């Protein structure tokens, strides 16, 4: 079941646009996930009520509410901003998509 959940969540990750996020921001449901975390892993932790992991990430400020500066930057750049999202009710997890050169994957395609 865990592998199925992982695949289901991975299939729900996709690029998002500012206009789509506005109503979720208004209801304070957007959670920013640091790019060093795996968005699907965070979604799984929330879905499975893995309080220990979630509290650790909050404590390390790896998952946070978006700052005013982030919201302003996203609003200015609009649809060209590279954001991906994952809905895990009642939250919308949002993560910046890093360019390939910015990641530590060590592989280049």
> pLDDT tens digits, residue range 22-79?
899 999 999 999 999 999 999 999 999 999 999 999 999 999 999 888 888 777 655 5
Give pLDDT, residue 107.
40
pLDDT tens-digit profile of 3-12?
898 999 999 9
Give pLDDT, residue 16.
87
Instruction: Select the more confidently predicted residue: 16 or 79.
Output: 16
What is the band of 13 on the pLDDT scale with cuts at 50, 70, 90? Answer: very high
Q: Kindly write down the DSSP assignment for every residue of 18-51, as one continuous string.
A: HHHHHHHHHTT-EEEE-TTS-HHHHHHHHHTT-H
pTM for the full model?
0.82
């Amino acid at each position: 079941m865990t592998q199925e959940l992982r695949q289901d969540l991975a299939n729900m990750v996709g690029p998002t646009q500012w206009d789509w996020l506005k109503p979720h921001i208004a209801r304070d449901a957007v959670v920013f996930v640091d790019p060093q975390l795996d968005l699907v892993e965070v979604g799984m932790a929330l879905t499975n009520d893995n309080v220990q992991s979630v509290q650790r990430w909050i404590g390390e400020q790896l998952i946070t509410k978006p700052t005013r500066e982030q919201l302003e930057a996203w609003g200015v750049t609009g649809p060209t901003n590279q954001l991906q999202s994952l809905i895990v009710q009642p939250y919308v997890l949002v993560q910046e998509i890093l360019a390939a050169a910015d990641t530590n994957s060590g592989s280049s395609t």
